[in-house]
Amino acid sequence: MTARSLSSVSGVLKSVISSRWPGVCAAATCNRRHVSTYTTIPPPAQYGGRHTVTLIPGDGIGPELANHVHELFRFCCVPVDFEVVNVDPSIASEGDINNAIMAIRRNGVALKGNIETNHNLPPSYKSRNNLLRTTLDLFANVMHCQSLPGVRTRHKNVDIMIIRENTEGEYSSLEHENVPGVVECLKIITRTKSLRIADYAFRMAREKGRRRVTAVHKANIMKLADGLFLQCCKEVASGYPEISFDSMIVDNTTMQLVSRPQQFDVMVMPNLYGNVVSNVCAGLVGGPGLVPGANYGDDYAVFETGTRNTGKSIANRNTANPTAMLLASCLLLDHLKLHAYAGMIRRAILTIVTETRLHTADLGGQGSTSEVVQSIMNAIQSTRAHTLST
């Protein structure tokens, strides 16, 4: 057993024992820092307090954004070293992605760009991103969509947390053609995974002080599959009486999202609906360039942009919006418990996003990526100078 799985097993055991017999384990656990229950235990810093993080640049705008993250971290003296693993999507063999998965197992955390999937290739070529998520069992995809001041959108005051089941559902990639011309695709919903994601959602809601969780489903049509998901959510909801729980059918949800998105708080749903709803919400708050996403599993965490776009059409033109990737790197720093650095970078990013003259093309401006990153570094520099001088 690896050190990580040992520590995670002991972590689970400790939390189970300490919840049942609090007195017994108080002594044993008091010397450990308080770890919030919904994120995994971060890997111990290996050399001199520095963390090693796997970096998968991906395709399209991925490599340039990864460089900007690198630059920014170096500028801020963040104690993180990146282990870069390139995944070439044109190769048929899965060697590259297996290397990436191995690197993530080694380091425990990763920052990732989206790897392109050519959908004209035969089904034997699986989506690399999907393979990564299912192999590492990153069961929860969390996206926090918030209206940002300074970004003009049709809807104001949007603050929705989307928790999407990341490993099963329609993305099981189980398809077959029994009769020529008739293709069946299986959507699998299991009780264990549904309970797991529902539990994650409610724990997250409790940690963040959220009032309401909405389950999104289509159980009027898919009575057994989404019915099971809904039932699991209801079961978990009964254990969190302070959080109100309701459910909504996915087509009604999208309609409500475009007319009155302020009514939603936390939303939990299976894989495909999660895809639709997270993209709708990202569009509502300003587009794919602004929202970071995180994939959490029991042992690993991978951070990426929320809407998982390769941005092929704007690659290498210095017009991509780096905000999403940089905010994802802040989530990474939070996960590694480097809260001071995360806060500093995040504050700088949010200050820069309010400046209309620096907006990139996706926000309707003409700024370039490098300008934005430079301004963020300047903003950090000025706050640093301020603290040094006081």
Partner 1 sequence: HEKNVSLFFNCQVSRVVGTLLKDNPQPRTFIRGIQTVTLIPGDGIGPEISSAVMKIFEAAQAPIKWEKRNVTAIQGPGGKWMIPPDAKESMDRNKIGLKGPLNTPIAAGHPSMNLLLRKTFDLYANVRPCVSIEGYKTPYTDVNLVTIRENTEGEYSGIEHVIVDGVVQSIKLITEQASQRIAEYAFEYARNNQRASVTAVHKANIMRMSDGLFLRKCREAAEKHKDVKFTEMYLDTVCLNMVQDPTQFDVLVMPNLYGDILSDLCAGLIGGLGVTPSGNIGTNGVAIFESVHGTAPDIAGKDMANPTALLLSAVMMLRHMGLHGHAKKIEAACFDTIREKKVVTKDLGGNSKCSEFTDAICQRVKDMD
Report the interface residues with partner 1, using CB under 8 A.
Answer: 117, 119-123, 125, 127, 130, 154-155, 170-171, 173, 175-177, 180-192, 218, 221-225, 228, 250-252, 254-259, 272-273, 275-276, 278-280, 282-284, 287-288, 307-309
Residue among 252 and 382 whose Cβ is closer to partner 1 = 252
Give the C-alpha separation, 176 to 182, whole Å.
9
CB of 288 to partner 1, least distance (A): 6
Residue among 302 and 380 whose Cβ is closer to partner 1 = 302
Beta strand pairing status for 140-146 and 292-296?
antiparallel
CB of 284 to partner 1, least distance (A): 6
DSSP secondary structure letters along 310-378: --GGGTTTT-S--HHHHHHHHHHHHHTT-HHHHHHHHHHHHHHHT-GGG--GGGT----HHHHHHHHHH
Residue among 52 and 114 whose Cβ is closer to partner 1 = 114
Residue among 31 and 192 whose Cβ is closer to partner 1 = 192
CB of 223 to partner 1, least distance (A): 7
Residue among 40 and 114 whose Cβ is closer to partner 1 = 114
Residue among 256 and 370 whose Cβ is closer to partner 1 = 256
Q: How many residues does the chain have?
A: 390
Give the C-alpha separation, 11 to 140, whole Å.
19
CA–CA–CA angle 140, 111, 300 (5° rounding)? 45
CB of 133 to partner 1, least distance (A): 11
Half-sphere exposure of 25 (CA within 13 A, CB side): 15
198, 181 Cβ separation under 8 angstroms: no
SS3 35: coil
Residue among 45 and 222 whose Cβ is closer to partner 1 = 222
CB of 311 to partner 1, least distance (A): 11
Give the C-alpha separation, 235 to 223, whole Å.
17
CB of 155 to partner 1, least distance (A): 7
CB of 309 to partner 1, least distance (A): 7
Residue among 118 and 387 whose Cβ is closer to partner 1 = 118
167, 132 Cβ separation under 8 angstroms: no
Residue among 109 and 163 whose Cβ is closer to partner 1 = 163
Tokens 């017999």 found at: 21
Give the C-alpha separation, 234 to 232, whole Å.
5
Residue among 177 and 207 whose Cβ is closer to partner 1 = 177
CA–CA–CA angle 19, 24, 25 (5° rounding)? 65
Contacts of 42 (CB under 8 A, 6+ apart): 51, 108, 109, 335, 336, 337
CB of 171 to partner 1, least distance (A): 5
Q: How far is CA 362 from CA 153, 281, 287, 309, 314, in A?
A: 12, 16, 7, 13, 10
Q: How far is CA 284 from CA 83, 236, 291, 292, 349, in A?
A: 34, 29, 11, 14, 20
* DSSP label of 87: -
CB of 79 to partner 1, least distance (A): 35
Residue among 142 and 225 whose Cβ is closer to partner 1 = 225
CB of 154 to partner 1, least distance (A): 4
Query: Which DSSP helix (H) or strand (E) runs through 154?
Result: none
CB of 2 to partner 1, least distance (A): 29
Q: How far is CA 251 from CA 145, 256, 352, in A?
A: 20, 9, 36
